[in-house]
Chains A and B, each alone.
Chain A
Amino acid sequence: MIEILTMITMLGSALFMLLAALGILRLPDLPTRMHASTKAGALGAILVMFAVSLHFADGVVVAKSIAVILFILITAPVAAHAIGRAGYFVGVPLWEGTVKDELKERYDPETHRLYSGLETPEQLEAYKKNLDMKPRIRLKSKKKS
């Protein structure tokens, strides 16, 4: 029974890794490739470690594989964030079908400063006047009825 479960997790992890590899080959630009590789690759490694702890069923090995799983869960998003941020600042071109790039108009790549568009009091007043039309940030407290 445990052997069958080990085999299923191993095959599943191999398939997830193949999926990540296909995504990294076929997808059009850097953020979409990272979206494929980070999540599917991490899930593949986690499933292999799960299979290892099922196969050995020993306290030390289970603790080590849980340590590997926790380490992958912590470091995969951090590494993806660092690489994606660096790639955006270096100027890697986005896919031509990209719909929205909110950082483009708000971010100053020279000073690394993010603007909200509400810096001066005039902008804030104009924003408050149009608040009914465009409720993006709630400035007044929400009344509970």
Chain B
Amino acid sequence: MDIVIKITFAIMGLAILVVFVRLVKGPTLPDRVVALELVASIMVGFIGVHAISTDKASFIDVAIVLALTAFLAAIGFARFLERGGPRHD
């Protein structure tokens, strides 16, 4: 169990690293928003695995809050893009 949790953390960390490349490279702002949303989604998974590894169930609340804020951030960015505003991408 222990080594599987370590492997899972390693793979998720690698995934965040790969998404971060797109976040830096991303030619336009919507690309970066999509990358940020995927980072939040991977973080929800990270928190879930951390809750399993520390055996504390209260981390699930953190996952709920993180999913909520990620959704609100995505909707806010979409509104901002569509209604216009200063864009330097």
Contact = CB atoms under 8 A, between A and B. Distances in A.
Main secondary structure of the interface of A (DSSP, over half): helix
A102 interface: no
A31 to B, nearest CB: 10
Nearest to B42: A17
A79 B75 contact: yes
Interface residues of A, number: 52
Interface of A: 3, 6-7, 10-11, 13-15, 17-18, 20-22, 24-25, 30, 33-34, 37, 41-42, 44-45, 47-49, 51-52, 55-56, 58, 60-61, 64-65, 67-68, 71-72, 75-76, 78-79, 82-87, 89-90, 92
Give the most central of B29, B48, B52, B70: most A CB within 10 Å. B48
Contacts of A52: 48, 51-52, 60
A49 B22 contact: no
Contacts of B63: 49, 68
Interface residues of B, number: 48
Interface in B2-45: 4-5, 7-8, 11-12, 14-16, 18-19, 21-22, 28-31, 33-35, 37-38, 41-42, 44-45
A7 B78 CA distance: 37
